[in-house]
Structure 1
């Protein structure tokens, strides 16, 4: 498997477990006098959050992931920004994977394609540092990045790894915990991953969910600000068989502020690296 492919797999793991979100009206205010939202039922919380995620909006995000399984220790960080408009999802981000060597790649997601800037060791021409992978493309590079493309699109539908579905998730705790200076409502959640997997269509997300369900139990935490806007979330999957953990934390800032997603022009595109 190529370096780029391994990085893509890491991105799927991070973005599948830690969804990046999009929002419309309502932002997490930094004004400490703003009252955080009252506790809601899971059904009402899901309805309010979903209403914000399915419309136009934008935000900056950071996702940090740590994987500790047997002798493996991987740290992945994704930083970027996204917007959602009448055309679909747009995103620009940079991902760094330490496992133990450091690999960095950038990508730009548009409604119809993913533009990938592979690590420097791929030695693409300096004036053509990008490779394009198209949705449903039949070329090897597009197929290699199909799971990443699917995960990025799915990631905008929920502030957590899985939808806030009362049929599969329960609230096990709720209190007031600020995120920085922003008043927020904090929820502790537990999800039945096996039940989630049964409800998903065949594809990369279902495969990942089934794997996670076999590994252990998932516990999520979600902090929402005024208007039930996601500000922070954490997911932790314990793996008793190896005494390992998969932990992801993410933060969301600059809600509603303009986000520019510069799409690489054709003049900066190279053919896919050898080996995909």
Structure 2
């Protein structure tokens, strides 16, 4: 069960980290005109600048995997903030494959707290298990890919910069993101080329795997000031006529976000076997 959850989470964040969207304060007024089209390097620089500073937001990431007989739907909802200490996040991940499994996370700059599914039979008053970033215990090592993927997917707008060496703009038009006027970009990414730019680790491994499956197309909506609003990514797998799709949206950007860390009194030892 735990292994399946880890695989689902890494697959979700591996693909979704390739593009992301945020509701930014510069684009919440529908009367503000969308930006003009810009070259890919300028777009990448503007989007990254909007997301690299301190801030907070609520988010939703939805992923659907259809490969052979497998059909998995994963949804992550939550909120995060970044401050001088690092990344703080609270999130709930629901996976249907075909049974439904729900997993809750609290991420701090040094640890991730995991509320395991009911089948793990933890005491009701101690429903959380703590995994330490870089920890040597089996549970921490087992959740290390999830820890890394959560941080990557939230801290960086893209798995790698929108580099012309791996990504090309295939279209651009005016298309609203909800009710907000926006510039809409269609993109195509060479995942094999992107993987070469990534450091060794779970994200690179996932990107290399996806590169073997097929080609990825993305859509990105940006508002005034090139504030990212929304994104969608689709990986087609011709060999199985399957698809991997991820859509992402953020809201309440800049609003206060509370990330309650479970107290030690609510922690259980990791399940046997990690």
TM-score, normalised to structure 2's length?
0.95
C-alpha contact 1:50 1:157 (8 A) present in aligned 2: no
SS of the residue corresponding to residue 241 of structure 1 reads helix
SS of the residue corresponding to residue 138 of structure 1 reads coil
Structure 1 residue runs of 5 or longer lacking an equivalent are: none
1:67-216 superposed matches below 5 A: 67-216=65-214
SS of the residue corresponding to residue 240 of structure 2 reads coil
SS of the residue corresponding to residue 81 of structure 1 reads strand
2: distance between equivalents of 1:23 and 1:76? 20
C-alpha distance after superposition, 1:24-63 (max 9, x if no partner): 9x52533221111221111111111111222101111111
C-alpha contact 1:191 1:218 (8 A) present in aligned 2: yes
C-alpha contact 2:160 2:197 (8 A) present in aligned 1: no
Match of 2:53 in 1: 55
Change (3 A) 1:51 1:156: same
- Give yes or no for the alignment of 1:27 onto 2:25: yes
Structure 2 residue runs of 5 or longer lacking an equivalent are: none
C-alpha contact 1:23 1:57 (8 A) present in aligned 2: no
1:158 Cα offset (Å):
3.7
C-alpha contact 2:21 2:228 (8 A) present in aligned 1: no
C-alpha contact 1:67 1:245 (8 A) present in aligned 2: yes
C-alpha contact 1:70 1:242 (8 A) present in aligned 2: yes
Computed over aligned residues only, the root mean square deviation of the Cα atoms, in angstroms, reads 1.7
1: distance between equivalents of 2:128 and 2:26? 35
SS of the residue corresponding to residue 50 of structure 1 reads helix
TM-score, normalised to structure 1's length?
0.94
1: distance between equivalents of 2:62 and 2:159? 14
Match of 2:262 in 1: 264
